Amino acid sequence: MTLLHSNVHCRSTFSISSIGVGPRFKENLDYVDVADVARYEGNDSQLNSVKDFIARGELGPFLPRYEGDYRLPPEVNQQAVAHYVKALEIRRIGHEAVSIFSGKIPHSVGVVPGGVTSVPTADNIMAYIWKIKILQDFIDNVYIPDVLAVAGAYLDYAEIGAGCKNLLAYGSFDLDGSSPDYTTRPRLFRQGTVSADLKPGDLDTGKITEYVKHSWYDNATSGLHPSQGETKPQYGKDGAYSWTKAPRYDGIKTGPSIGAILTGWGSFRGASMIATKIPQIRKCSGIIDNRLQI
């Protein structure tokens, strides 16, 4: 039970409870013109609350802003703004869910082993599940459709921020913890790799190496497996700027969407900023669906 709540706190609730004004939802605001709601003439209470907010003359945190490439039709733009307001309530519910077991978020989740500061009871577990299901419903029926609507208007952005296009995941949420080899355990989110040409592969920790080209260490220690690593300081080395070594896996970059892709919960269209959004959100919803069954 402690492991279950530790996983759920640290990997689902904490992430999902942040979608209200956290980085995931605010990324959508890069494409949504909140100030345009000043022209709204309907009866939606959420949109009218935003309109009243704009009318006061102080538009922070929405302004100042980088003037963006706003393409959404007015009705879609207004709906996205209304959902942003709704997300504030969803964020509150997420925090309430965490507080059932751990009190103030995020402190106890980060410093208390297991993330739980009270003994779980049947009533608490049911209350927790009820709140988490509200979050899941918001993700499936509000958040994902909004992301799809925004992505549909910015298809050309699918080529932006692609990086190296090679991805890796160590997996999470053991389905069977009997194997002593963590890299081969059956997991809710599979471990593995996806190459730039879309070929999946198995995780092989023997391919992990550490490089020190830009670190204050002797270059002779570069490219070694962590188990064979050597620490030979060389402070002031030309081109170096950090004491941190750079891990590599056959040159593969780590990406958050890869676990959902390998598990079959997301399609892969590349590693661009937009292309990774849907698998990330489906991953959050999938965590809830598979770990909180009653």
- Are the CB atoms for 17 and 94 separated by under 8 Å? yes
DSSP string over 43-65: --HHHHHHHHHHHTS--TTT-S-
- The alpha helices in the chain, defined as continuous H runs, are 2-8, 14-16, 23-28, 45-55, 74-102, 107-111, 122-138, 144-153, 258-263, 277-291
Give the residue, 274 or 184, on which the prediction is more confident. 184
- Are the CB atoms for 197 and 225 separated by under 8 Å? no
Domain with CATH 1.10.645.10 in the chain: 2-162+272-291
> Using the 8-state DSSP alphabet, how is residue 176 labeled?
-
Q: Per-residue pLDDT tens for 170-210?
A: 888 888 989 998 888 988 888 888 777 778 888 898 999 99
Handedness of CA 196, 199, 205, 206 (dihedral sign): negative
Query: Mean pLDDT, to the nearest integer, of 128-141?
Result: 91
pTM for this prediction: 0.62
Range of lowest pLDDT (79-83, 137-141, 143-147): 143-147
- CATH entry 3.40.50.300 includes domain 2-162+272-291: no
Query: Mean pLDDT, to the nearest integer, of 139-164?
Result: 81
Q: Per-residue pLDDT tens for 50-73?
A: 889 888 877 777 777 777 788 899
- pLDDT for the residue 46: 85
DSSP string over 81-142: HHHHHHHHHHHHHHHHHHHHHHSSTTHHHHHSGGG--S---HHHHHHHHHHHHHHHHHIIII
CA distance 117 to 168: 33
CA distance 136 to 172: 19
